[in-house]
Amino acid sequence: MDPVPRHIFLRLALAAVVLPIAARVSPLVAQSAPAGAQKSAPPAEKITIPGVHNAGKVTSLFFRGSSPKPEAFAELKKLGVSTVIDLRWERGQIESERKRVEALGMKFVSLPLSGWFSPKNDQVAQFLKTLREHPVEKVFVHCHFGDDRTGVLVAAYRIAEQHWTAEQAIKEMDQFHFHDFWHPNMKSYVRKFPAAFASDPVFASLRSPQTPPPAYRR
């Protein structure tokens, strides 16, 4: 038998040393994978809430839908909701809803957004901060139909807190009947939101993960 060439012998010897070391190191590498590599949060689940159209369960503590009918506030209370966020800007409706919500012992937050224009970054920051202020409470957010304004803010939450891509968030907006034809500017806002969230000082306090992390989990 011909002798093994020297360069092949050296490669075999090196492999005999390196492979066992690699086998021991690879489990450690897997254990130290970054948190961002975790599986993405599941999309919102369509649910039924009597008196609320287009209702969805975003997480176990975060719900969305249309403007509730008068009898629906008691249903939200039964669901365990403790805070209602109203995105409409009609003053008479806001005050009427405030009375119904507070009469049932729930908190009412008014965050008026235009039904035609994209929200401003400071409005989105206020919304995200409101969620962080209630980390272990059930929150319900709505506009009039629960599709456009609500869809944009839920998308911002997905991107800021759950690290979704803009396209993932937009897909969920569409599943809850977002109106592309009427509101291309709102969808454009969501596409640009990752960059805005990363750079606008108004989001500075929100870029650091909450400690403990938000309890908005399914």
CATH code of the domain covering residue 158: 3.90.190.10
Q: Is residue 159 part of a domain?
A: yes
Q: Give CA–CA dist 170/176, Å, rounded.
A: 10
Q: Is residue 118 part of a domain?
A: yes
- The residue assigned the tokens 């919304």 is 127
How many domains does the structure of the chain reveal?
Answer: 1
* Core vs surface per residue 109-134: b (16+ CB within 10 A) or e: bebebebeebbebebbbebbebbeeb
Q: Give CA–CA dist 159/139, Å, rounded.
A: 18
Q: Is residue 175 part of a domain?
A: yes
Residues paired with residue 65 on neighbouring β-strands, in sequence order: 142
Residue 166's pLDDT is what?
98
pLDDT tens, 74-111? 999 999 999 999 999 888 899 999 999 999 999 999 99
- Which positions of the chain have pLDDT values less than 50? 1-38, 212-213, 215-218
Q: Is residue 131 part of a domain?
A: yes
Query: Mapping DSSP to helix (H, G, I), strand (E, B) and coil, where does residue 11 land?
Result: helix
Q: Give CA–CA dist 139/150, Å, rounded.
A: 13
**φ, ψ for residue 141, nearest 5 deg:** -120, 140
78 exposure class (CB count in 10 Å sphere: 0-12, 13-18, 19+):
exposed
Residue 129's pLDDT is what?
98
Q: Is residue 151 part of a domain?
A: yes
Q: Is residue 31 part of a domain?
A: no
Q: Is residue 32 part of a domain?
A: no
Residue 62's pLDDT is what?
98
Q: Is residue 169 part of a domain?
A: yes
- Are β-strands 45-46 and 56-59 bridged in parallel, bridged antiparallel, or unpaired? antiparallel
Residue 154's pLDDT is what?
99
Beta-carbon contacts of 196 under 8 Å, excluding residues fewer than 6 positions away, are 121, 203
pLDDT tens, 50-75? 999 999 999 999 999 999 999 999 99
Nearest of 19, 57, 5 to residue 172 by alpha carbon: 57
What residue numbers bound the domain in which 120 lies?
39-206
